[in-house]
Amino acid sequence: MPPKVIARSSGADPAALRKRSARIVQALSDLGTTHVVGVPDNLTRYLYEMFDADHHVQVVPVCREGEAWAIASGLWVGGRQPVVVIQNTGFFESGDSLRGTAIEMGVPLIALMDYRGYGSLGKPDADSAASFFEPILNAWGFRYLFLEDSKEAQILKTALDKAFELNQPVAVLMR
Amino acid sequence: MMKRQECLETLSLFRPTDGVVVTSMGSAAPWSRISSAPLDFYSVGSAMGHSADFAMGIALAQPNRPVWVFNGDGSMLMCLETLVTICQTPPPNLVLWVLQNDTYEVTGNQPVPGASKFCMTQLARGAGFGNVHELDSADSMKQQLPSILDQTGPIFVNLRIETGEEPAPKLDRPLREHTVEFRKELLKSSN
């Protein structure tokens, strides 16, 4: 008997997600974000929709996440302040681009990453996208913070300050 | 087909004085012998083909300044999706030049996948580029580039060059240092 294929759900409440997304959009706008570069997923979709409706920030959709680091690096070199928004799976995919552009060039930016599978950690069927995520961030020396409800503005500002202090991207993980 | 040297020398005749030129892999060292402009950026590692999207970012950030990128065909093949990404958010000031010689020259001229089978200009058209051209001699470049460069971008130009013996390029300083210097120059001249 072949397996049945069912929908994967983040388990997040859409109404709560929209509210949080609105707070993130406001916080990133207040930090001077000019461009949002990346690939949407189920957790970040509202961010993309809200930024799309915001004429002060340009959304740059990419086909694969490796392009996001390169485009964001070019934007920063050109005097803008981009944010990369991707899923942890996209982080894995984009490794050499991240190394060869944003890290090697010393680009300070926030990378907002969806921690897909966070809720499955420690369970027998843990999503490998989650179990590999932090070990790989640590192996790459990639600084990260966790986003917390109602503290979005403070955490994102801390991340951007740290990015400028280190001259490299700093991740903010969304659970 | 033409030699890379005459191709790049011909391009240098048309380079806008306020323009950015991003080079990678096989074009980086030869261009550095031709040009000493402060707005040349040497993306020598190119992170497995990410020079075109990097240049796209600069073009979006600096919409009033021409931005050229010299990509190899091997690099372009590694990131074909970037053709689509550029057309989704099209910078009118971007010119994407692909130098096609059908090999990975800097690693010893191994044939790229699809060598002599794929059509780079068809790929660009299929991705959504409206202004697509192919040139294979310095004479045709001199004749056609004035009208090609008059078009609104993004412009895609495939340049057919002969295989050479270009070694893998290396910067004389860390990429981070080059990036800081380039950014300072770019932003200074943007004011």
Confidence band for B189, pLDDT divided at 50, 70 and 90: confident
Judge: A82–B57 Cβ closer than 8 Å, yes or no: yes
Residue that has been written with the tokens 């068809």 in this structure: B122
Mean pLDDT of B177-191: 92
% of chain B surpassing 70 pLDDT: 99
> Among B27-31, B57-61, B128-132, which stretch is predicted with the lowest mean pLDDT?
B27-31
pTM more than 0.90: yes
Q: Is the peptide bond before B174 cis (omega within 30 degrees of 0)?
A: no
* C-beta atoms of B58 and A35 within 8 A: no
pLDDT tens track, chain A, 175 positions: 888 887 777 677 889 999 999 999 999 999 999 999 999 998 999 999 999 998 899 999 999 999 999 999 999 999 999 999 999 999 999 999 999 999 999 999 999 999 999 999 999 999 999 999 999 999 999 999 999 999 999 999 999 999 999 999 999 999 9
Measured distance CA(B155)–CA(B96) in Å, rounded:
6
How far apart are alpha carbons A144 and B11 in whole angstroms? 44
Q: Tell me if A63 and B182 make a contact (CB, 8 A cut-off).
A: no
**Predicted local confidence at residue B139, as pLDDT:** 97
Among all chains, which residue has been given the structure tokens 């290396």?
Answer: B170
Residues of B whose CB is below 8 A from A109 = none
Mean pLDDT of chain B: 94
φ and ψ at A128, to 5 degrees? Answer: -65, -20
B interface residues, A as partner, C-beta within 8 Å = 41, 45-48, 50-51, 53-62, 79, 81-82, 84-85, 88-89, 174-176, 179-180, 182-183, 186-187, 190
The predicted structure's pLDDT at residue A6: 79
Rg (CA), chain A: 16
Nearest residue to B7 (alpha-carbon basis) of B161, B148, B163: B161
Whether residue B91 contacts residue B53, with contact meaning beta carbons closer than 8 Å, is answered with no
